[in-house]
Amino acid sequence: MGDKTLSLYELNWLVRKVVETELGQEYWVEAELSECRENRGHCFMELIQKDEHSNTPIARASAKCWQSTWSMLGPYFERTTGQPLHAGLKVRLLVYPQFHEAFGFSWIITDIDPTFTMGDMVRRRQEIIRQLKDEGIFELQKELRLPLFCMNIAVISSETAAGYGDFVNQLSDSPYAFRTQLFPAIMQGEQVEQSIIDALNRIYGETDSFDCVVIIRGGGATADMSGFDALALAENVAQYPLPIITGIGHDRDECILDMMSHIRVKTPTAAAQFLISHLDATAQRIDTCAERIHTFFSLLKSREEARIDKLSSYLTPLTAHLLERERHRLEMLEQRAKALDPTLLLKRGYSITLHNGHLLRDPSLLKPGDEIETRLEKGTIHSIFNT
């Protein structure tokens, strides 16, 4: 055999026989998916194993799941884990080896253990939560306060999602003038995390225009939620300056995005109802304050009216007394004025001498030739002063 030259087909056929003879059984294998795609009903996966310390790949392999098997395993895995198979997941597969002369070697998948993947997902989520708490940012969104008049809403959603339409319609039907602006994002698949982060960055450039951010996803399946359990997205949401409300629309336990948000509701319509109820509470608060102010001023008015009435009861006799006293004072002044009336003096025989219209008290002030006027009871005498 050593000197014989084989064709490639013959060599591959020998390898196939060795594989079938020596590895003719099934094996459970644990690996990470680096790629997963469907084609004509079949599923093609690229498996990888990384070094625990350096994260460097140390093993790679291709695996296939034929349509007859995949049509059962795929939906079962998705129902059990809440998401489809995708790159980055840790999986446990039951495989057997196959070597084909034309297509080479691959592992053929006959079963998938979803509980293994679920356990890994839980471990990853717990690790992300632990890291967020260690960073001291896990509760930051809860410390924000939703404005009393929360009416300018930035919305992150798929533009064509039915949930987005329900959200906007419910706000429009309310008695309040909400203003919404959509920042489109991919809400399913492997691009969810980066797409939402990009939308948050766009909103950040105009935060003064909005009161809060609403992240909603509705009208689709509850599967494929891994993008909402990502560390980078959680860190962005935790440290965001505006309150973030999530209405992702899923029935399973909270995703990490829900945990990090200011308020978590289940659906887009619940998010709209929350905002409407928030304004209802604000309106009720205003009405309550108005009633308190009205009651306060009514009490104040009654108290001041009573005070005025009391003062009036004191002032009436006091005023009468003051008026009587002033009247008596005026009478006394009148009597004094009458006593000083010059006409009375004239009647008593006295006279009044005037010079230039002024009362003359000192004759030394006169000069020869000055005219003086002497008033008597019954007439006036004009004289020329000599000496």
Q: Which two tokens stand for residue 120?
A: 């890994």
Integer Cα distance of 102 and 105 in angstroms: 9
Cβ-defined contacts of 131-137 (< 8 Å, 24+): 131/231, 132/231, 132/234, 132/235, 132/238, 132/256, 132/260, 135/235, 137/235, 137/238, 137/239
Q: List, in order of start, the domains of the chain with CATH numbers.
A: 8-121 (2.40.50.140), 135-280 (3.40.50.2300), 342-384 (no CATH)
Q: Are 192 and 255 in contact (CB under 8 A)?
A: no
Does 63 score more than 90 pLDDT? yes
pLDDT tens digits for 202-240? Answer: 999 999 999 999 999 875 544 456 778 889 999 999 999
pLDDT band of residue 154 (cuts 50, 70, 90) is: very high
Among 115, 358, 85, 125, residue whose Cα is nearest residue 228 = 125
Half-sphere exposure of 246 (CA within 13 A, CB side): 22
Q: Residue 215 carries which DSSP code?
A: E
Q: How far apart are CA 210 and CA 144, in angstroms?
A: 14
* Least reliable range by pLDDT among 122-131, 263-272, 344-353: 344-353
The pTM assigned to this predicted structure is 0.61
Contact 374, 352 (CB under 8 A): yes
Q: How confident is the model at residue 67 (pLDDT cuts 50, 70, 90)?
A: very high
- For the stretch 351-379, pLDDT in tens is 888 888 888 888 888 888 888 888 887 88
